[in-house]
Amino acid sequence: MSAGLNIAEPGAVVFDIAEANIRQLNATLQALTPTTNQTAWTVLNPAGEHAVAVGITAPVIVTIDGHVGYYCAGMNDGANITVTGNAGTGVAENMMSGSVHVLGDASQAAGATAHGGLLIIEGNASARCGISMKGIDIVVKGSVGHMSAFMAQSGNLVVLGDAGDALGDSLYEARLFVRGKVASLGADCEEKPMDAEDRAILANLLKRAGTDANVDSFKRYGSARTLYHFHVDNAGAY
């Protein structure tokens, strides 16, 4: 048996980083196939290490017991990953599918450039949450920092708390739902009416995130579409 691995019961594997290393953990998880019978994993003693559980392409369940550093669960494609502590910069960066659930707070650039999947943050997220998101759904139960959803192209960002300055700056077609106060809106971002489709999307995401927050308590923000094509009158906003 490789160092750091412990078969707790059929289908459940415990990997202790204190007895191995991150490269071995990631190589092991990345080698899993969609038909693996080792579908449940627990990672012990992450101790703030960077790049924990990245690049997984099998539909497995991974529970990381503790705090993680940069880029945890990056490039996830199908796994359901839970972090029981806080996460550093770029959690779920470039995720394609699956889910990432952070039970604490997340640092900046959570869900950056991600194409799909669901990211849930129980606490707060720092600056640039959802930067350049390309289809991911993000639910933050606390507040988000400045420049969140900067250049967000598609997907949905739901914030149950407040949003910092320049929300949705240079936004494309992502939907932003905020229940609390917005410090300021970024270039080309504006409040929009909530239609039936918006309400259905928001209600579904709130349900998936395990919260009973009222859809009617949110405001919806989106692109004013004035920056899609260059116009001299808008030169100062580019």
Distance CA 141, CA 129 (A): 13
Residue 76's alpha-carbon distances to 5, 50, 59, 123, in angstroms, are 21, 15, 10, 21
Record the pTM.
0.92
Mean pLDDT of the chain: 93
Joined together, the tokens standing for residue 144 give 């988000």
Joined together, the tokens standing for residue 38 give 């080792």
140 DSSP β-pair partners: 121, 159
Which range (53-62, 150-159, 224-233) has the least confidence? Answer: 224-233
Measuring CA to CA, which residue among 62, 129, 141, 57 is closest to residue 90?
129
Q: Is residue 59 within 8 Å of residue 40, measured between CB atoms?
A: no
Say which amino acid occupies 38: Q
Domains of the chain by residue range: 5-237
CA 165 to chain centre: 20
Distance CA 120, CA 62 (A): 15
Query: Is the pLDDT assigned to residue 203 strictly greater than 80?
Result: yes
Query: Is the pLDDT assigned to residue 130 strictly greater than 50?
Result: yes
Please state the φ and ψ torsions of residue 197, each to the nearest 5 degrees: -65, -45
Query: Is the pLDDT assigned to residue 237 strictly greater than 70?
Result: no
Please state the φ and ψ torsions of residue 215, each to the nearest 5 degrees: -55, -35
Say which amino acid occupies 155: G
Average pLDDT over residues 73-82: 98
Distance CA 165, CA 142 (A): 16
Instruction: Please tell me what DSSP assigns to residue 182.
Output: B
Average pLDDT over residues 126-130: 98
Measuring CA to CA, which residue among 102, 80, 179, 164 is closest to residue 129?
164
Distance CA 116, CA 155 (A): 8
Please state the φ and ψ torsions of residue 203, each to the nearest 5 degrees: -60, -40
Q: Write down the pLDDT at residue 132.
A: 97
Q: Write down the pLDDT at residue 17.
A: 94
In a 13 Å sphere around the CA of 56, the CA atoms on its Cβ side amount to 32
The architecture (CATH level 2) of 5-237 comes to 3 Solenoid (2.160)
Q: Write down the pLDDT at residue 226.
A: 84
* Cα torsion angle, 135, 140, 141, 146, sign: negative
Q: Write down the pLDDT at residue 131.
A: 98
pLDDT in tens, 16-44: 999 989 999 999 999 999 999 899 999 99
Query: Is the pLDDT assigned to residue 120 strictly greater than 60?
Result: yes
| pLDDT-derived band at 234, boundaries 50, 70, 90 | low
| pLDDT-derived band at 12, boundaries 50, 70, 90 | confident
Q: Quick one: what percent of the chain has pLDDT higher than 70?
A: 91
What is the Cα Rg of the chain in Å? 19
Residue 212's alpha-carbon distances to 8, 48, 163, 202, 215, in angstroms, are 35, 32, 20, 11, 9
